[in-house]
Amino acid sequence: MVPLDPVPRPIDHLLGFGSGDALVMARDTLSYAAAERRVGELAGWLASFGFAPGARVATWLPKTLEACLMPLAAPRAGLVHVPVNPVLKRAQVAHILADSDASLLLTAAARAATLAAGDAPEDCKVATEAGRGEALPPSNADPHALAALMYTSGSTGRPKGVMLSHANLWLGAVSVAHYLEVTPDEHVLAVLPLGFDAGQSQLLSTWRAGATAVPLDYLLPRDVMKAVQRFEITSITAVPPLWTQLLALDWGDTGASVRRIANTGGALTPAMIDRMRLCFPNADIFPMYGLTEAFRSTYLDPAEVRSHPTSMGRAIPFAEVMAVRPDGNAAAAGEPGELVHAGPLVAQGYWRDPDRTAQRFRPTPDWATSGGMAVWSGDTVRRDAEGRFFFAGRDDEMIKTMGQRVSPFEVEAAALDSGEAVEAVAWGVADAAAGALIRLAVSGAGDDARLMTHLKRELPSYMVPAMIERRADLPRNANGKLDRVAVRTLS
């Protein structure tokens, strides 16, 4: 088991724990030694541009070799990595590039061709192939220096960049590798997007354990099953919508090799857990809850999944998680409170956004064990007498669909940009398979078919509404603002 060493190191030192294969891909297999050399060469290539220390370099790629190694190579070159989810389209990518003031975008030629003039900052270089420079040795970076910006959507406004230090990434990798009990002989399937904090965690925690990561971009759920068989996969982490698809397959004997399955991005149902036991009879089940702003907060011990299938579990190593009443005191067992996460996994705030940082990152309650700043999640939880947490609700307007957090603002902005609507309100409707389906109400003259065509062209598939309803007027409150609650009530 990976020891719980609380001393962080520069994240680019992470490949020093394995002796076998670090990466197994469709066309490439890299040993730990080869991966370390490639990180050094990629860092050398980045350094050759002469960017100022701390400059941001973005990747908008599927799970290529460069996409997997850039979280280590950019910090080794003294730069900050900005992973962009490959399913995003040019409008979202343009926002991230502008907001981060990126100095470099590494992407594929076909993706670069979709960008319009002005989508990238004026001095941002766009590269469609990574070079190999003179290899840089492991860095001596300050563990508390910025290493990455991970963009996450907010309930109002466009995606915001969560500032992650070397220490955040390092201690997160140690924590997850420890509580999942990953061993060096394992093959860990990485199916989540690398622009998603849990997707990046799959790589980093696997390498901290000295195990082998198997990145996979899949088209169909059956591709995941084939990969499990082909690569002798022992560990899978996925989000509920993907689990729903995977559990509908006939796994036969294929699932017997899997030792561990983990879930993030939404809750599992008892029925899904029962099906998991049938498909993966030898696997421990790890339900997890996390925040991009604090990496991950809780996990449920597999021994407690049968008796408490709806629980979020307890705090992960290096995290202090608490339920806090509105008056600032600790919530009693069974009493609702806001989930507050403190400790060294807490991020440094939102990139160049002091107002939103002040809203979400606030001092830890004075009765807590940890000091410093905490993340006040906005999620309501309850804690039982044994310390297990249970999710009770979300205070903000975020839509959680297909394992992704979607800002209603982004859907509404795209609808208004189409010219087919005057006003728009988006919200989520509960759905057993997707978690939520996006519903969009619009007013004004326009054509719904043209609106849907526009949305499909401009938004990732998971942001596209499942339903559009057109109304003569959308209700307003006394201040003249759109009354979002009334819009939903009248639907």
- Checking if the pLDDT of 433 tops 90, the result is no
For residue 435, which amino acid is it?
G
- Checking if the pLDDT of 75 tops 90, the result is yes
Confidence of residue 292 (pLDDT cuts 50, 70, 90): very high
CB 17 within 8 A of CB 209: yes
Residue-wise pLDDT for 361-380, tens only, equals 999 999 999 999 999 999 88
User: Residue for token digits 């609700």?
Assistant: 393
How much is the pLDDT for 395?
Answer: 62
Region of poorest pLDDT, from 292-306, 327-341, 429-443: 429-443
- Checking if the pLDDT of 428 tops 50, the result is yes
Nearest alpha-carbon partner for 73 in 92, 97, 48, 96: 48
Higher pLDDT, 478 or 433: 433
How much is the pLDDT for 400?
Answer: 84
Class of domain 399-489: alpha beta
Q: What is the mean pLDDT of residues 310-328?
A: 97
* E strands, 203-248, in order: 212-215, 235-238
Confidence of residue 156 (pLDDT cuts 50, 70, 90): very low
Mean pLDDT of the chain: 93
Region of poorest pLDDT, from 216-220, 361-365, 390-394, 476-480: 476-480
- Checking if the pLDDT of 478 tops 50, the result is no
Other Cβ atoms less than 10 A from the Cβ of 312: the count is: 25
How much is the pLDDT for 155?
Answer: 44
Residues 56, 37, 177, 258, Cα dihedral to 10°: 110
End-to-end Cα spacing for the chain:
52
Confidence of residue 410 (pLDDT cuts 50, 70, 90): confident
- Checking if the pLDDT of 295 tops 70, the result is yes
Q: List phi, psi (to 5°) of 29.
A: -130, 125
The C-alpha atoms of residue 120 and residue 126 are separated, in whole angstroms, by: 8
Residue-wise pLDDT for 106-155, tens only, equals 999 999 999 999 999 999 999 999 999 999 999 999 999 999 999 986 54
CB 40 within 8 A of CB 137: yes
Confidence of residue 491 (pLDDT cuts 50, 70, 90): low
pLDDT-above-90 percentage for the chain: 81
- Checking if the pLDDT of 350 tops 50, the result is yes
Other Cβ atoms less than 10 A from the Cβ of 148: the count is: 26
Region of poorest pLDDT, from 60-74, 347-361, 428-442: 428-442
Residue-wise pLDDT for 389-401, tens only, equals 998 876 667 788 8
Domain boundaries, the chain: 11-383, 399-489
How much is the pLDDT for 340?
Answer: 98
Angle between helices 240-247 and 270-279 (to 10 degrees): 50
Confidence of residue 484 (pLDDT cuts 50, 70, 90): confident
What's the Cα-to-Cα distance from 211 to each of 230, 259, 282, rounded to whole Å? Answer: 17, 14, 19
Task: For domain 11-383, say whether CATH 1.10.3720.10 is its number.
Answer: no
- Checking if the pLDDT of 317 tops 90, the result is yes
